[in-house]
């Protein structure tokens, strides 16, 4: 089974990412496809409608949202039917109500917990209500902590910035349901009955870290937030198993990485025609080959295989510029 992130993998804002739809439709001929999104502003049905408009065949049941995972988490820390202060939009409020909780927007209603998710209309007054309520030391659940959201006009602040504002005011941290935490992956695996899922994402700090925590093989596709420079610098917990330039490569045989020693004791990492040398703390390009992605794969193998921190290395700019 394939589990795919949305922002940066399938679309950016209102625009489908080139090759993503055709590649996922081809994959669906042989594999079940499920979608996971940290975006809390829309319902699963609305997301499915958007994906269908791009040319995919998707129902709401095939979309797992961070509000769904957050409400599962909320149910473990409050009583059934409790009053919950909700900071967010329809994507969150509908799920909270469907789970049988009473919804309020005011700290004066003595809520049993606060649940917070992104919506474009969330403002200072909403964050202030959360801060007032959390002064009572009640549970606080956040759908996710993404710092940014890719939009058609560029990169915009995400829910993490809003959560951080409340954190600064109250001095505590929330329970988090969305990526990179396991809760959303666990919800997806349970819903789809997945026994050997593969997860595709575009962010190292949320998608790849989360998949690694959940024990799910991960693919980083370079069509969203993180690109070559971030891949090379990725710490061990955020390294993907596979790196793709775009989703067309999902249907290609993944190339092997080979290692060999040269005469001066350096290690040469080769991916098809791309060759990268690791000599001490220096990583240099021997042969760029024909594919920038192969060169990045070889470079990542060299940097990651060094056992050194990226700030202590000299890395050829050709690997990331």
* Residues labelled catalytic: 5, 7
Asked whether the beta carbons of 86 and 119 are under 8 A apart, the reply is no
Q: How far is CA 198 from CA 23, 78, 122, 227, in A?
A: 15, 33, 34, 20
Whole-number Å distance between alpha carbons of 247 and 9: 8
Q: Which residues pair with 314 in a beta bridge?
A: 282
Given strand 113-116, what is the order of strands in its sheet? 102-104, 83-87, 113-116, 140-142, 175-176
Strands 83-87 and 15-16: unpaired
Whole-number Å distance between alpha carbons of 272 and 291: 9
Whole-number Å distance between alpha carbons of 84 and 242: 41
């Amino acid at each position: 089974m394939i589990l795919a992130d949305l922002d940066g993998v399938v679309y950016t804002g209102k625009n489908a990412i080139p090759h993503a739809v055709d590649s996922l439709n081809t994959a669906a001929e042989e594999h079940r496809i499920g979608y996971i999104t940290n975006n809390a502003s829309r319902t699963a049905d609305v997301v499915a409608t958007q994906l269908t408009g791009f040319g995919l065949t998707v129902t709401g049941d095939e979309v797992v949202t961070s509000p769904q995972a957050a409400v599962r988490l909320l149910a473990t820390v409050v009583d059934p039917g409790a009053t919950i202060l909700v900071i967010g939009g329809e994507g969150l409020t509908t799920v909270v109500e469907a789970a049988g909780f009473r919804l309020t927007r005011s700290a004066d209603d003595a809520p049993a917990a606060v649940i917070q998710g992104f919506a474009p209309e969330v403002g200072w007054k909403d964050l202030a209500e959360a801060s007032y309520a959390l002064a009572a030391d009640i549970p606080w659940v956040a759908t996710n902590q993404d710092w940014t959201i890719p939009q058609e006009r560029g990169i915009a602040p995400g829910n993490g910035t809003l959560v951080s504002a409340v954190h600064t005011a109250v001095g505590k941290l929330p329970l988090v349901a969305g990526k990179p935490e396991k809760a959303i992956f666990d919800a997806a695996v349970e819903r789809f009955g997945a026994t050997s899922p593969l997860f595709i994402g575009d962010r190292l700090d949320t998608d790849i870290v989360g998949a690694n925590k959940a024990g799910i093989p991960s693919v980083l596709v370079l069509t969203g937030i993180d690109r070559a420079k971030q891949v090379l610098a990725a710490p061990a917990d955020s390294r993907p198993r596979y790196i793709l330039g775009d989703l067309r490569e999902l249907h290609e045989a993944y190339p092997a990485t080979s290692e060999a020693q040269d005469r001066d004791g350096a290690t040469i990492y080769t991916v098809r025609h791309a060759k990268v040398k690791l000599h001490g703390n220096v990583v240099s390009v021997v042969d760029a080959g024909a594919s920038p992605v192969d060169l990045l794969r070889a470079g990542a193998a060299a940097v990651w295989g060094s056992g050194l921190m990226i700030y202590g290395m000299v890395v050829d700019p050709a690997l990331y510029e």
